[in-house]
Structure formats: C-alpha cells, structure tokens
Amino acid sequence: AQSVTQLDSHVSVSEGTPVLLRCNYSSSYSPSLFWYVQHPNKGLQLLLKYTSAATLVKGINGFEAEFKKSETSFHLTKPSAHMSDAAEYFCVVRRGGYNKLIFGAGTRLAVHP
C-alpha cells in the first residue's frame, strides 16, 4: 500500500535561507503526491501536487518539489524562507481513485529572524 515518510519532525531555518523538507514515498506504481501546509489553528491548504506530469512541480508561495523515482523521494524546497512560512507541512500520497489521502507525520518548520 502507498505510504509516505517525512524524515524530519522539526526543521529550523533563518529567514532568507533555503528550506528543505524531506519526504520519501512507498508505492508499487506511479503515485500521486502532494504537499499540504497547516498554519497554527487553521485547516490544511494544498501547496502543490504531482500527478505524473512534470517531475518538478511548482506550488504556491515559492515552494516547489521534485519527484525522483530512483530515490522514491518528493522533497519540498524553497530558495528563501520567509517568517510567514512557519507552519507544519505534510507530505501526502493518494491511495485509490477516490481522493483518499494518506498523510505523513508532518514536519514543523520554524523560521528565525
């Protein structure tokens, strides 16, 4: 069955420095993968999605992710962190054809001045 593993529970960066949030997936076929973001006391919002088109996916707020089949990875990156990026980020895989999303454990991103 499809699953995702987020390799870091917490990541801390300085404002203006690059962000890397790591995610590995497990799937017997080409998966649909997503990154969602959750700001404090808010619901989740879609950042970007990969559905077997381009392997480099651009999302909102300057985030992007690259699907690497050889490494079974879907890491999320941003060239320059902003204070407003502080949030929890979830790597997600879709299981089946009914939008059934399986969430990773989450990575909490802290951004320091």
Partner 1 sequence: DARVTQTPRDKVTEMGQEVTMRCQPILGHNTVFWYRQTMMQGLELLAYFRNRAPLDDSGMPKDRFSAEMPDATLATLKIQPSEPRDSAVYFCASGLVTGTGNTGELFFGEGSRLTVL
β-strand partners of 78:
19
CB of 58 to partner 1, least distance (A): 15
CB of 31 to partner 1, least distance (A): 10
Candidate list 24, 27, 102, 108; residue touching partner 1; CB under 8 A: 102
Beta strands in the chain (DSSP E): 3-6, 10-14, 19-21, 23-26, 33-38, 44-50, 56-58, 64-68, 73-78, 87-95, 100-103, 107-112
Residue 61 in contact with partner 1, rule: CB under 8 A: no
DSSP 103: E
CB of 21 to partner 1, least distance (A): 15
Please list every residue from 1 through 60 that binds partner 1, using CB under 8 A.
Answer: 32, 34, 41-46, 49, 51
Q: How far apart are CA 74 and CA 56, in angstroms?
A: 9
CB of 33 to partner 1, least distance (A): 9
- Applying CB under 8 A, the residues found at the interface with partner 1 are 32, 34, 41-46, 49, 51, 90, 94, 97-106
